[in-house]
Amino acid sequence: MAKPGDVIEVPQLGVKVQFLATNSSTGGVYTVVDVIGRPKGFIRVAHVHVGVTEHHTVLEGAMRVKLHGKTHVLGPGEQITIPPDTPHTQHPAGDGAGRIRIRLAPSGRSDEFFERLATLDYNRFGYPKPHSAAAFVRDLGPAGHAARPSLKTQQKLAKLLDSEYVFSDEWDVAAPPEAVFDTLADGTTYPHWWKPVYIDVRGDGEYTYQHFKGRLPYHLHTRTRTTHSERPHTLQGETDGDLRGTGLWTLMPTETGTHVRFDRRVHADRRLLKLLTPFLRPALRFNHDWAIARAIEGLEPYVQKLSSEDARDKGPRAGEGGVHHARLHP
């Protein structure tokens, strides 16, 4: 979260951004930044800020603003106000760098917009690469976007290029939540019950490392660490590698056992998957559905077998009476 005084360097766009007032410091009333440098790349295209009034003051250098079909050239001390939802462009004028103070009211998602500039993957011309641009439109398009084509068209194109996948699956398991939780928390059990999806899982104390496959002809390798564990209710983790994202298991007791919900948000980082995403998205969703079906088939009998063995042994379940070190699959 941005704070007054923070500076964001974006050399790909020829500028740095200094925060003077932020959403959090003004209670969302306004944001003020100084944009320093000579802008280039995609921030020079015609764009719209949804529901936000922009007020520009030139402190150093000069700026050319095109608004309502007219071009305004502003020098030091001159100002211009851009109404909400109004297409406009802002270009440097003259030679050298400039310093422009911008006040945006209300703040909206302005802080997030400026912070995001530093994280995009740019080409040499200062434009985001397709997958980075798609994520930018997906996340921030409703708050601000290029004036052309329409936002709806941009969102359709972004959806084709976006390598993010969001899945949510639910089913019931005839076993107590504690037993289900302990199985899900121990990633090394997955090759035993989630067949033939998981080929190998190993751990080093902090991370687990997974090797798995689906119906499509590729294998994936990931690394996962647990970020939240509340036995026997929730288990959450972060994954990187060929897939990057988060997974959340939520367990609720029922009259016959446990209701399992698995929410997953992942990005396909493997180059081939990124390239094929626009064409294979339906196939990749089918692949996920097939893999989840194998989990539904395998989890219940595995947990029931362990529970019956524990009952015979009359011993404590793993993780009871001590610290439970949970490890989550991707």
Kindly report the backbone phi and psi dihedral angles of residue 92, in degrees, each rounded to the nearest multiple of 5, phi listed first. -70, 145
The pLDDT of residue 266? 82
Question: CA-CA distances (angstroms) from residue 164 to 132, 142, 246?
Answer: 11, 18, 11
Which of 79, 108, 127 is at the close of a domain?
127
Q: Please count the structural domains in the chain.
A: 2
The pLDDT of residue 231? 96
Q: Is the domain of 123 the same as that of 168?
A: no
Residues 43, 26: Cα–Cα separation, whole Å: 25
Least confident of 26-40, 169-183, 264-278: 264-278
144 is a domain residue: no
The pLDDT of residue 320? 43
Q: Is the domain of 186 the same as that of 299?
A: yes
Structure tokens at 6: 């923070």
Residues 6+ apart with CB under 8 A from 116: 136, 139, 140
Residues 24, 42: Cα–Cα separation, whole Å: 27
**Is the pLDDT reported for residue 275 higher than 60?**
no
Q: Is the domain of 230 the same as that of 119?
A: no
| β-strand pairing of 258-268 with 243-253 | antiparallel
Q: Is the domain of 98 the same as that of 219?
A: no
CATH code, domain with 248: 3.30.530.20
Q: Is the domain of 117 the same as that of 24?
A: yes
Ramachandran region of residue 259, left (φ > 0), alpha (ψ -120 to 50) or beta? beta
- Residue 315's pLDDT band, with cuts at 50, 70 and 90, is low
CATH code, domain with 26: 2.60.120.10
Q: Is the domain of 75 the same as that of 185?
A: no
The pLDDT of residue 272? 52
Q: Is the domain of 123 the same as that of 177?
A: no
Q: Is the domain of 212 the same as that of 285?
A: yes
Residues 290, 297: Cα–Cα separation, whole Å: 11
**Is the pLDDT reported for residue 329 higher than 50?**
no
Average pLDDT score, the chain:
88
242 is a domain residue: yes
Q: SS3 of 10, please?
A: strand
pLDDT in tens, 285-303: 788 899 999 999 999 999 9
Ramachandran region of residue 212, left (φ > 0), alpha (ψ -120 to 50) or beta? beta
Q: Is the domain of 213 the same as that of 306?
A: yes
In 3D space, the residue among 255, 254, 237 whose CA is nearest the CA of residue 246 turns out to be 237
Residues 6+ apart with CB under 8 A from 289: none
DSSP summary character for residue 124: T
Question: CA-CA distances (angstroms) from residue 205 to 188, 217, 266?
Answer: 12, 31, 23
321 is a domain residue: no
Sign of torsion, CA 286 292 293 298? positive
Q: Is the domain of 100 the same as that of 188?
A: no
In 3D space, the residue among 153, 170, 156 whose CA is nearest the CA of residue 250 turns out to be 170
Burial class (CB in 10 A: 0-12, 13-18, 19+), 7: exposed
**Is the pLDDT reported for residue 122 higher than 80?**
yes
Residues 243, 121: Cα–Cα separation, whole Å: 18
Which of 127, 148, 176 is at the close of a domain?
127
Q: Which domain holds residue 23?
A: 7-127
150 is a domain residue: no
Cβ atoms of 80 and 65 closer than 8 Å: yes
Residues 6+ apart with CB under 8 A from 239: 222, 223, 224, 245, 246, 247, 266, 330
152 is a domain residue: no
Least confident of 133-147, 234-248, 275-289: 275-289
138 is a domain residue: no
Q: Is the domain of 110 the same as that of 187?
A: no
Q: Could you give the residue ranges of the DSSP H alpha helices within the chain? A: 23-26, 110-117, 130-140, 151-161, 177-185, 190-193, 271-313
